Amino acid sequence: MRSNPHTDMLELDRSIDRVFSLAAKKSRRLAERWKDADGSPVFTVKGRYTSRGWTEWTQGFQFGIPLIAGLGMGDKGLLEYAERMIVEKMAVHLTHRGVHDHGFNNVSTYGMMLRLMTKGAIPEETWKRRYCELALKVSGAVQASRWTALPDALGYIYSFNGPHSLFADTMRSLRTLALAWRLGQVLMGEQDSKVNLLERLLAHAETTARYNVYHGTGRDRWDQKGRVAHESIFNIVNGSYRAPSSQQGFSPFTTWTRGLAWVMLGFAEELEFLNTLDDADFANLELPYFKLKDAVLSRFEEVAKEVCDFYLLNTPTDGIPYWDTGGPQMHKIKDALENDADPYNSYEPVDSSAAAIAAQALLRYGSYLGAEGKRYLDAGLSIVSRLCSDEYLALASDHEGLLLHAVYHYPNGWDYAPDKDLPPHGESCMWGDYHLLEAALWVREWRAGGKPSGFFDIFPVVAKK
């Protein structure tokens, strides 16, 4: 990738204003059309949002998008609609034990509502604050209960595939455990045992770091530092690691770029959270590999750097990745990494949703590092600028998406291709639209305050048992 240290910030400000305006208009139109019987919107086909039964992981984006768009536009009516839908529709997701997606559904809604109350963007009401806090407590504990324990105090929140399966995606979902722990919640087990949610968060992150992230140590023939495997498979009888795998990438030995982006953002955002803690918060954790705060930060910084560097090295010059770094026809795209990504090429699709997620990761990680993180910050700003351009925004009034050229499940053939001879392009997805808005909100608040906008620092700290 070619970072631009001289991004035209005034032009970017105008582009972000346009993004919020578009998102508000599209949110209103989708709200008028969408029916509960349709399920949750997932991705567009010919510019119209459709559902796809796999797991229920996108409804939080459906209502999180108008929440952020309403904030961005100062649109009271849109904010009220989003709040009403969250209260009426999202409770079922709080006790959903069948998915690893609580951070996507519940933090994007209840968490964002709480954040906007704290920021004064929506009215402060005691019942509403307590309701959102309770929702986050429940979500974090339920998510942590979906647990596979491994030897050496490791373990992970297992994916919808079952107890043998650790997904890279879940690193971004960990924030629901962080918020629940910050609010004083524990998971109660057999004989009233108390499970520390911070301990589970750290164990999951370390397991992901050891098995889903490669560190250039010769683990297999394709062990390149910072590469990410979408899935890790374990023998749940004895806890031994068996193999890498991939559900949505080309192979276990290539890197599905959205999985890489989930890991980038998960570690970057958790660094923000962990940096607010004290050594005392780690004192009673039964984790032999994390005794002190410095050890935790050092490990998370190591992994964040490796995956962010891998992204920068293996992405086209404009920061928009192709769907998989080892797509089977990538070799046919001449100088693919020496030019901007081409959504209309004849061989492999790009994934703008991966770029939106990665952009936020680079922004947060770069800001966390301070002066040393300038190249990551510049890269994040460059990607946001590119995603806010005419080439990637769905400017047509009849297109219900916001961010063009996203893909969902290319191996399964779920994505719409307008030309059977070309890869999918020109369509949008809920998580791409949502994460573009989160990134845009980060940039706007950073620009307004001259400092990074953290997610965890706006929640009240309570006494922890």
What confidence score (pLDDT) does residue 423 get? 97
Which residues are registered as beta bridge partners of 149? 155
Looking at the chain, the whole-number percentage of residues with pLDDT higher than 90 is 91
Q: Are 211 and 171 in contact (CB under 8 A)?
A: no
Q: Which of 450, 448, 356, 445 is nearest to 61 (CA)?
A: 356
Mean pLDDT of 365-374: 95
Q: With 60 as the cut, is the pLDDT of residue 460 above it? A: no
Q: What is the per-residue pLDDT for 455?
A: 66
pLDDT tens digit string along 24-77? 999 999 999 999 998 999 999 999 999 987 788 999 999 999 999 999 999 999
pTM reported for the whole predicted model:
0.97
| pLDDT of 462 above 80 | no
pLDDT tens-digit map of 145-171: 999 999 999 999 999 999 999 999 999
pLDDT digits (tens, 9 = 90+) for 228-274: 999 999 999 999 999 999 999 999 999 999 999 999 999 999 999 99
The arithmetic mean of pLDDT across residues 165-192, rounded, is 96
pLDDT over threshold 70, residue 465 = no
Q: Which residue has the tokens 């959504």?
A: 343
Tell me the CA distances in angstroms from 37 to 33, 41, 47, 84, 407, one per residue in order.
12, 11, 20, 18, 24
User: pLDDT tier at 293 (50, 70, 90 boundaries)?
Assistant: very high
Predicted confidence at residue 120, as pLDDT, reads: 87
Q: Does residue 174 surpass a pLDDT of 50?
A: yes
Q: What does residue 329 show for φ and ψ, rounded to 5 degrees?
A: -115, 15
CA distances from 83 to 76, 90, 201, 280, 316 (A): 11, 10, 28, 37, 39
462 Cβ neighbours under 8 A, 6+ residues apart: 182, 183, 184
Is beta strand 240-245 parallel, antiparallel or unpaired with respect to 187-188?
Answer: unpaired
More confident residue, 461 or 397: 397
Q: Phi, psi (5° rounding) for residue 128? A: -70, -40
- For residues 240-254, one letter each, b for 16 or more C-beta atoms within 10 angstroms of the residue's C-beta and e for the rest, the string is eeeebbbbbbbbbbb
pLDDT in the model for residue 3: 79
At residue 118 the predicted structure's pLDDT band, cuts being 50, 70 and 90, is: confident
Mean pLDDT of 197-222: 97
SS3 content of the chain, % helix, strand, coil (to 5): 50, 10, 40
Per-residue model confidence (pLDDT) at position 7: 85
CB of 157 within 8 A of CB of 173?
Answer: yes
Backbone angles phi, psi at 256, to 5 degrees: -70, 120
pLDDT > 70 in the chain, percent: 97
Phi, psi at 282, each rounded to 5°: -105, -5
pLDDT band at 463 (very low <50, low <70, confident <90, very high): very low
pLDDT of residue 105: 97
Q: Give the count of beta carbons closer than 10 Å to the beta carbon of residue 307.
A: 33
Cα–Cα dist 261/252, whole Å: 16
Contact predicate 88/31, CB 8 Å:
no
Residue 452 scores a pLDDT above 70: no
**What is the pLDDT, as a whole number, of residue 451?**
66
- The rounded Cα 216 to chain-centroid distance in angstroms is 25
Q: Please, are residues 357 and 262 in contact by the beta-carbon 8 Å criterion?
A: yes
Distance CA 461, CA 184 (A): 8
- The verdict on domain 9-455 having CATH code 1.50.10.10 is yes
Which stretches does DSSP call E strand in 122-239?
147-150, 154-157, 165-167, 187-188, 194-195, 231-235
Query: What pLDDT is recorded for position 52?
Result: 87
Look at 457 and 201; give whichever has higher pLDDT. Answer: 201
How many angstroms separate the CA atoms of 173 and 61, rounded? 13
N residues, the chain: 465
Q: Give residue-wise pLDDT tens across range 15-31.
A: 999 999 999 999 999 99
- 417-444: buried (b, 16+ CB within 10 Å) or exposed (e) per residue? beeeeebbbbbbbbbbbbbbbbbbbbbb
Across residues 402-426, what is the average pLDDT? 95
pLDDT of res. 458: 64
Distance of alpha carbon 160 from alpha carbon 190, whole angstroms: 24
Give yes or no for residue 461 having a pLDDT over 50.
no
Average pLDDT over residues 427-433: 98
Dihedral sign from CA coordinates of 41, 270, 143, 83: negative
* b/e sequence 343-373, b meaning 16+ C-beta within 10 Å: bebebbbbbbbbbbbbbbbbbbbbbbbeeeb
Q: What is the pLDDT of residue 144?
A: 98
Q: In angstroms, rounded to a whole number, what is the distance separating the alpha carbons of residues 350 and 344?
A: 9
Q: Taking the C-alpha atoms of 212, 214, 215 and 221 in order, what is their torsion angle to the nearest 10 degrees? A: 150
Question: What value does the mean pLDDT of the chain take?
Answer: 95
pLDDT at 464: 42
